[in-house]
Chains A and B, each alone.
Chain A
Amino acid sequence: MSESAGHALPPSAPEPATLPGRSLVVCAVIGAALMAAVDEIVFHQILAWHHFFDRSTPAVGLVSDGLLHTAELLGLVAGFVLYADLRRRDALAPAHAWAGLFLGLGGFQLFDGIVDHKVLRLHQVRYGVDLLVYDLVWNGAALALLAVGIVLAVRARRRASS
Chain B
Amino acid sequence: MVIAATALLAAAAYLAGGTRLRLRGDAWPRWRDACFTAGCAVLAYALLGPLPGGPFTAHMAQHLVMAMIAPVLVVLARPLTLLLRVLPVRPRRTLLAVAHSAPATVLVFPPLAAVLDLGGLWLLYRTSLFASLHHQPLLHAAVHTHVVVSGLLFTFAVCQLDPVRHRWNLTWRATALLAAGTAHAVLAKALYATPPPGTAFTTTDLHTGAQLMYYGGDLVELALAAIIAVQWYTTTGRARTRRLSRVPG
Contact = CB atoms under 8 A, between A and B. Distances in A.
Interface stretch (B45-53, B71-79, B179-187): B179-187
A53 B174 CA distance: 27
A70 B189 contact: no
Nearest to B211: A52
A158 interface: no
A81 B222 contact: no
Interface string B228-249: 1110110011001101110111
A8 B247 CA distance: 10
Given A78-B225, A81-B232, A69 B185 contact: yes
A77 B186 contact: no
B233 A63 contact: no
Nearest to B246: A7
Nearest to A8: B249
Interface string B216-229: 00100110011011
A109 to B, nearest CB: 20
Interface of B is mostly: helix
Interface residues of A, number: 31
Contacts of B225: 73-74, 76-78
B193 A53 contact: yes
Given A7-B249, A88-B237, A77 B226 contact: yes
A150 B189 CA distance: 36
Interface residues of B, number: 37
Contact of B233 (A7, A70, A74, A84): A84
B178 interface: yes
B29 to A, nearest CB: 21
A130 to B, nearest CB: 27
Interface of B: 174, 177-178, 181-186, 189-190, 192-193, 207, 210-211, 214, 218, 221-222, 225-226, 228-230, 232-233, 236-237, 240-241, 243-245, 247-249
Given A5-B241, A77-B222, A81-B229, 15 more contacts: A3-B240, A9-B247, A13-B244, A14-B243, A52-B192, A52-B207, A55-B193, A66-B182, A66-B185, A66-B189, A70-B177, A70-B178, A73-B181, A73-B222, A85-B236
Which 4 pairs show the lowest CB-CB distances between chains A and B? Answer: A70-B181, A66-B185, A81-B229, A77-B225
